Amino acid sequence: METMVRINVDGEDMLVPEGISVAAAVLGHKHEKRVFHNAKDGSPRAPYCLMGVCFECMMEIDGTENVQSCLVPVREGMVVKRQYKADKE
């Protein structure tokens, strides 16, 4: 049986399989907020390469901004926030 961990994405708790990347967890979860955004201009984005080359999956993870979410495995209690241009102004 697959081990699940609880993470919080934009204030919403999610149960996701242990060991997957944050990007995969957000993409695979069924909720309205699974769109990624460019931190500079606010345009919609989505993880493209899922291996750390394209920088399209930047999110705030545990208070650190501009983290490549495809390279970070989920862990119990992690807090993830999508980045918006409005957050920077």
pLDDT digits (tens, 9 = 90+) for 1-46: 789 999 999 899 999 999 999 999 988 776 555 567 666 677 777 7
Task: Using the predicted structure, report yes or no on whether residue 85 has a pLDDT greater than 70.
Answer: no
pTM, entire model? 0.80
Percent of the chain with pLDDT over 70: 80
- Please report, in angstroms and rounded to a whole number, the separation of the first and last CA atoms in the chain: 45
Q: What is the mean pLDDT of the chain?
A: 83
Residue 34's Cβ-count burial label (10 Å; 0-12, 13-18, 19+) is middle
